[in-house]
Amino acid sequence: MGDLIVTDLTRFKEKSILCTAVVDMATLQCFRPMPYFSFDFCKEFQIQPGSILSGNIQYTFNAPQPHTEDAVFNNPNYLRSATSEEFKEILDRTLSDSISSGFGVTFMAGQKHIPFGTTANCSIITVRIDKNEINIHEDMYNPGRIKVSFCDSTGFKFGYLSITDRGFYDYAINHRQNGTVDKINRFLLSQDEIILRVGVGRRYESQGKDGYWLQVNGIYTFPNYSKVIRSYG
């Protein structure tokens, strides 16, 4: 197994654990290490998107659709932090043309989930988003929560998606509490490129819809990023 680069570091309501996804830098295979890493482990070794790890990783036998990336990761070892160029190269090489083509699922207007029983290509994809087509904002239906809305390259709009990117969410909440969410959007507009990692959660039923709900696992900006976003505090 070659070096593995962390592409996703996502939060749970249970704050003692974090979900990661890693990509083999040689083969571009994506894995989701199970069981989840502890928050303390990630903080101790400063595990972040772009961290490079080694270890023995193998896909879980009969991993459930669409979470085919589930894998057992033995003896994870932190090697180093990738350069911005290395990280962007991996993201570029894993890009999908759109949300629908990446998941292999046709979404209808307003649809934010993959219905249970639908066969999908995977549960995590990478897409490039025009900086003018993304907005970080408060959830008008659930005050105090921060959401993201964007259009992909086909012009298809995905509104009010959950932000599970650990660092970015905490950063956005702090701005929400200070009444300065617009500063985040101005920062995004100042960048040359925005790349998202979009995933789906585990099966969940909401408002009569049963399936796997879209979430934004990673919001990455180039050429710059805020070190505050990727800090553990």
pLDDT surpasses 80 at 76: yes
pLDDT tens figures, 132-151? 999 999 888 888 889 999 99
pTM: 0.95
Residue 212 pLDDT > 90, yes or no? yes
Comparing CA positions, the residue from 176, 102, 103, 191 lying closest to residue 142 is 176
Confidence of residue 225 (pLDDT cuts 50, 70, 90): confident
Token pair belonging to 217: 């696992």
- pLDDT-based confidence at 205, cuts 50/70/90? very high
The pLDDT of 206-228, averaged and rounded, is: 91
Tokens of 207: 């408002």
pLDDT at res. 86: 95
- The mean pLDDT of the chain is 94
Quickly state the pLDDT bin for 233 (edges 50, 70, 90): low
Structure confidence at residue 1 (pLDDT): 65
pLDDT of 11 above 80 = yes
User: Is 230's pLDDT higher than 90?
Assistant: no
* HEC string for the chain: CCCEEEEEEECCCCCCEEEEEEEECCCCCEEEEECCEEHHHHHHCCCCCCEEEEEEEEECCCCCCCCCCEEEEEEEEEEEECCHHHHHHHHHHCECCCHHHHHCCCCCCCCCEEECCCCCCCCEEEEEECHHHEEEEECCCCCCCEEEEEECCCCCEEEEEEECEHHHHHHHHHHHHHCCHHHHHHHHHCCCEEEEEEEECCCEEECCEEEEEEEEEEEEEECCCCCCCCCCC
Q: Quick one: average pLDDT of 99-126?
A: 97
| Structure tokens that stand for 132 in this block | 């003018």
Q: Tell me how far CA of residue 1 lies from CA of 18, 27, 33, in angstroms.
A: 23, 9, 14
